[in-house]
Structure 1
Amino acid sequence: MSDFLDPLRQKVLHHLELIYAEIELDLSHTELAEQLIEIMRLEQSSCEPTAHANHWDESEIIMITYGDSIKTDSEKPLNTLHNFLNNHCNDAISSVHILPFFPYSSDDGFAVIDFSSVNESLGDWEDVSAIARDYRLMADLVINHCSSRSFWFENFKQGKHPGSDFFVTASPDDDLDGITRPRTSPLLRETQTLDGTKHVWCTFSHDQVDLDFRNPQVLIEFMRIIRLYIDKGVRIFRLDAVAFLWKKLGTACINLDETHEMIRLIRTLTEHSCEHAMLITETNIPNRENLTYFGNANEAHCIYNFSLPPLLVNTLVTGDCKYLKQWMMSMPPAQNGTAYFNFIASHDGIGLRPAEGLLKDAEIDTLINTMQMFGGRISWRAAQGGMNKAYEINISLIDALQGTVKGPDKWGKERFLCAHAIMLALEGIPGIYVHSMLATGNDYEKLKHTNSNRSINRHQWDYEELTRELGEELSQHRQVFEAMKALIRVRRMQPAFHPNATQFTLHLGEKLFGFWRQSINRRQSMFCIYNISDEVCDLALSDINLIGTDSWKDLISGSVYESLEDVLTLQPYQSLWITNT
């Protein structure tokens, strides 16, 4: 091995020694390190990543979508998606997150049967790579578990390799009460094997069997998978459910030290393999725990800002920004080389665990009741003491924001756009769910068909029908789509909206929410102010300390402010992006 790889070899070796410190392996740490470096082809070509480099700027917008969220009978869904992006979104997004596009058995893709192939009903690897040539591609690394119908699990039951020792097992007699659960199903799945009955660990469902990373062969297989994805054009890896990766009896089996070190190892190998590759951790957990996945800028490049959706929806349906402001002021700025991944809608739902400690129980109860009034469903998790606790709210965002705690009203579209104007301006990288761009409502037919609460926000559009809606002037889908794109186009031109630009919270009362952004070169200031209530509110420009020697303009309305003594009247859910010109 070349001398230039010696520091990398030592770094990989250090990761492995920490991960497997308590486990006796069949091969040495050095041998394992050599295998991983060979799999990632680092002997042939190795990048030297720049510390604290930002792989993004203010133009970065990620669209989140399933491969078949938009379909037509005449072509493969991945081709249809590519056409939709090129024809309707190429001036609005830079990246696309295609949710699991692999063969699967349940959970709309997250019970992966084969990590190395593309679901034939969607297309093939060439279709994936074609999208990757036009947009930075984000893909899921479903790393915690695989399908019970996978080749590995079939081998587990038959006692064959690879797979016979790939899965976590435990005894029903073990003390499992303290283990953190995101679901209400029993943790252990009784499975008949050639070696007798075994009880397999299933964090999520009995069709999603947990992989055992205590076995380094599992790590080896996943590094092969990562290398394949890089070769096919993937540049952003979403580490699905990674907080649960390492299991150790006597602990909560979440956020363990070995899990964090495993992420550091994956980052080291991935970014040396591909200079601009990024890791995003999907950790739907309380805010303080979520922040730890930045590490010291040596774990995730980005973390999902899971507290934002429940706090922002709560703000807009109550007309009170108190809790959102408190959270904003407590959030540390991301170091260069790291960023928050901001979103307010996704294929799952509005997670409630990230609101724990940020919203009072009474506030969460009110939020749940309001969302149920708007047609939402509730998914539950098992909590300690044999109790079930609300885990997430399943609802489309356009329906979630159709009214307030008082009920539906006429301000739904304005409230919805206000939510996105807030998210687009916050420190971090925006991720926008395709059904938010399209103002897709609750899909009760799909919910009825699947009997899965999450299906309510996983509609599949017929491309011809969608095209008609986007061409109809009075269609809410068109109106929202065009308004969203207009906001995004403005956002992408502002240095003050760089994901790492300075941010400070403003104090403008309960009904006006605001914050200040300043570009990294300090040349642009941006005052982002929002009426988050259904009442008309006044704002004195003197209250936000605009510098008198600069000229100021609202980028959304185009209004120019000649006098800093002006008092502005904000209509319900109006947004202002006031910048120096």
Structure 2
Amino acid sequence: MAVKNKVQLITYPDSLGGDLKSLNQVLETYFPNTFKGGIHILPPFPSSGDRGFAPLTYTKIDPKFGDWQDIRKIGEKHDVLVDLMVNHISRKSEFFQDFLKHGRKSKYADLFLTLDKIWDDGKPVREDIDKMFLRRNVPYSTFKIEETGEEETVWTTFGKETPSEQIDLDIKSPAVKELFREFLTNFSKQNVKIVRLDAVGYITKKLGTSCFFVEPEIYEFIDWITELASSLDIELLPEVHAHYQTQYKLAKHGNWIYDFILPYMVLSTLINKSSNKLCDYLKNRPHKQFTMLDCHDGVPVKPDLDDLVETKDAQKIVDVCLERGANLSLIYSDSHKNDDGFDVHQIRCSYYSVLDCNDDAYLAARAIQFFTPGIPQVYYVGLLAGKNDEENVKATGEGREINRHNFTMEEIAESVKKDVVKRLLKLIDFRNDYEAFDGDFVVHNTDDNQVRLSWQKDDKMCTLNINLENYKSVIEYVDEYGNLKIYNI
């Protein structure tokens, strides 16, 4: 199965109408031919936290969203993409609950990373932890075993709670690999075509390292799971937030990667009205990438853009975003902050809001994304030109909820009437249907206040021209009769 070079949608199972049946209805009613690349449904599985990213299992769909039949129904007309959190599983899962009851006697005990698998005596060493790329203050949690009253400490990379809701899996364990085999086999039966390996960079815990993207162990695991997925006709998309050179290693290894650089580069280009850094980047990046501008987390900054952007430039962009209502996710580990203390991990915002709700600027951003080589993904909030949901942030205390608004059927019906949404849908159709996007890509040298990108295949050619002074975007293209046409986006 080959990934289609068409536009994909990213959405939560309940964000467009309330559940999976509503999602399918929305697709059929408003976007029947829009997302020819597929639908990425963020975790629809039973979960105990992190909006689906603390799954109890992957063999079931959370009943409040629907069931596997609903997934298969969407899959009749769209390639479906789902997540597999290869690093962790919920502490509410039957696997960890059994461990909490029986401890080391549990039949699932070997799924988890007790600290004696890291340190021989089971006692953490601060010097080792200081080298690690941390997502919480300490990367482990302690639990009391019901039968014995003894305490067990296990690795937990993620989670705001103490003890954490997300329990790391021991990917060296044959039992974990058998579990992944079970999950992927079920995905195949349910007609899932693409699986994103979420948090795959964190799977290897090795003393003396950052415990992030540890080589060569990371490749050994990816090769193993890729072979398994391929046998089930599933394509894999590893998700790694890291220095861009780390991403490029994965690309060189032959894997799809995420372009986590592009969202910031586009934002910077439009805010600064300067294209030189974007153009330099586009000339040198690997082509085998999934592209995005917005997502359920935020616009990546560190460590993704380390060495690409200086702190003073990044701080300027961050300040503009904050003025426009964004909030920030910060780096935990002192060793992974800049020497000057700059510690912004992600800028959390609606991409439409952070471009000051300027329709032309927003369409220019999408045009750059769609002309950038790769598989374009459009997040559902961006699809509907949604604004920052500050009320939801206040209600939940979760900064990421700023870009996670759940649209009712009425809100969707109103949103699709907006001029900016209509223009975006037309642009998506062009990206899906024009043949040259399977051809050769060129970044033209231009004045710094211009962007000029071209694609050509045989007798088909299209060129995007953007004036950064007024954000006006124009596509020149050759039609089916060989005539040069102008498309004002």
- Residue identity in the other structure for 1:156: F
Secondary structure of 2:451's aligned partner: strand
CA distance in structure 2 between the aligned counterparts of 1:177 and 1:418, rounded to whole angstroms: 42
Secondary structure of 1:138's aligned partner: strand
Q: 2:311 aligns with which of 347, 358, 361?
A: 361
Q: 2:485 aligns with which of 553, 569, 572?
A: 553
- Cα deviation code 1:520-567 (max 9, x no counterpart): xx332322221223488999x9xxxx9xxx85332x23xxxxxxxxxx
- Cα deviation code 1:408-433 (max 9, x no counterpart): xxxx1110011001111111111000
CA distance in structure 1 between the aligned counterparts of 2:68 and 2:76, rounded to whole angstroms: 12
Q: 1:487 aligns with which of 410, 419, 427?
A: 427
Matches within 5 A, 1:52-451: 54-57=2-5, 60-71=6-17, 77-94=19-36, 95-157=38-100, 158-159=102-103, 160-170=105-115, 171-173=123-125, 175-181=128-134, 183-193=135-145, 194=148, 196-205=150-159, 206-256=164-214, 257-274=216-233, 277-297=234-254, 300=255, 302-332=256-286, 334=287, 339-353=288-302, 354-385=304-335, 389-402=343-356, 412-451=358-397
- Residue identity in the other structure for 2:222: I
- Cα deviation code 1:490-545 (max 9, x no counterpart): 222212112xx3222211121101222222xx332322221223488999x9xxxx
CA RMSD of aligned residues (A): 2.3
Partner of 1:568: none
Secondary structure of 2:97's aligned partner: helix
CA distance in structure 2 between the aligned counterparts of 1:536 and 1:399, rounded to whole angstroms: 18
Deviation of 1:246 after TM superposition, in Å, equals: 1.4
- Residue identity in the other structure for 1:186: V
Q: 2:447 aligns with which of 492, 504, 509?
A: 509
CA distance in structure 2 between the aligned counterparts of 1:532 and 1:483, rounded to whole angstroms: 18
Pick closer, same or farther for the CA change 1:386–1:232 going to 2, 3 Å.
Answer: closer
- Cα deviation code 1:62-85 (max 9, x no counterpart): 10000000225xxxx100000000
Deviation of 1:191 after TM superposition, in Å, equals: 2.1
TM-score (norm 1): 0.76
- Cα deviation code 1:13-67 (max 9, x no counterpart): xxxxxxxxxxxxxxxxxxxxxxxxxxxxxxxxxxxx8xxxx5424xx21100000
Is the 1:371–1:393 contact (alpha carbons within 8 Å) kept by the matching residues of 2? Answer: yes
Pick closer, same or farther for the CA change 1:538–1:246 going to 2, 3 Å.
Answer: closer
Is the 1:156–1:166 contact (alpha carbons within 8 Å) kept by the matching residues of 2? Answer: no
Is the 1:320–1:533 contact (alpha carbons within 8 Å) kept by the matching residues of 2? Answer: no
CA distance in structure 2 between the aligned counterparts of 1:359 and 1:496, rounded to whole angstroms: 32
Is the 1:172–1:188 contact (alpha carbons within 8 Å) kept by the matching residues of 2? Answer: no
- Residue identity in the other structure for 2:39: V
- Residue identity in the other structure for 1:147: S
CA distance in structure 1 between the aligned counterparts of 2:471 and 2:53, rounded to whole angstroms: 43
Pick closer, same or farther for the CA change 1:376–1:538 going to 2, 3 Å.
Answer: closer
Is the 1:311–1:355 contact (alpha carbons within 8 Å) kept by the matching residues of 2? Answer: no
Is the 1:178–1:384 contact (alpha carbons within 8 Å) kept by the matching residues of 2? Answer: no
Secondary structure of 2:111's aligned partner: coil
Is the 1:202–1:209 contact (alpha carbons within 8 Å) kept by the matching residues of 2? Answer: yes
CA distance in structure 1 between the aligned counterparts of 2:296 and 2:442, rounded to whole angstroms: 30
TM-score (norm 2): 0.89
Is the 2:17–2:26 contact (alpha carbons within 8 Å) kept by the matching residues of 1? Answer: no
Taking only the aligned residue pairs, the percentage that are identical comes to 26
Is the 1:66–1:100 contact (alpha carbons within 8 Å) kept by the matching residues of 2? Answer: yes
CA distance in structure 2 between the aligned counterparts of 1:395 and 1:330, rounded to whole angstroms: 28
Pick closer, same or farther for the CA change 1:81–1:394 going to 2, 3 Å.
Answer: same
- Residue identity in the other structure for 2:362: F
- Residue identity in the other structure for 2:231: H
Consecutive aligned runs of 4 or more in structure 1 exceeding 4 Å deviation: 385-388, 535-539
Q: Larger C-alpha radius of gyration, 1 or 2?
A: 1
Count matched residues. Answer: 462
Pick closer, same or farther for the CA change 1:250–1:91 going to 2, 3 Å.
Answer: same
- Cα deviation code 1:430-481 (max 9, x no counterpart): 100011110111111211121111111000111123214434xxxxxx2122
Deviation of 1:326 after TM superposition, in Å, equals: 1.9
Pick closer, same or farther for the CA change 1:186–1:219 going to 2, 3 Å.
Answer: same
Deviation of 1:172 after TM superposition, in Å, equals: 2.6
Secondary structure of 1:355's aligned partner: coil
Pick closer, same or farther for the CA change 1:147–1:535 going to 2, 3 Å.
Answer: closer
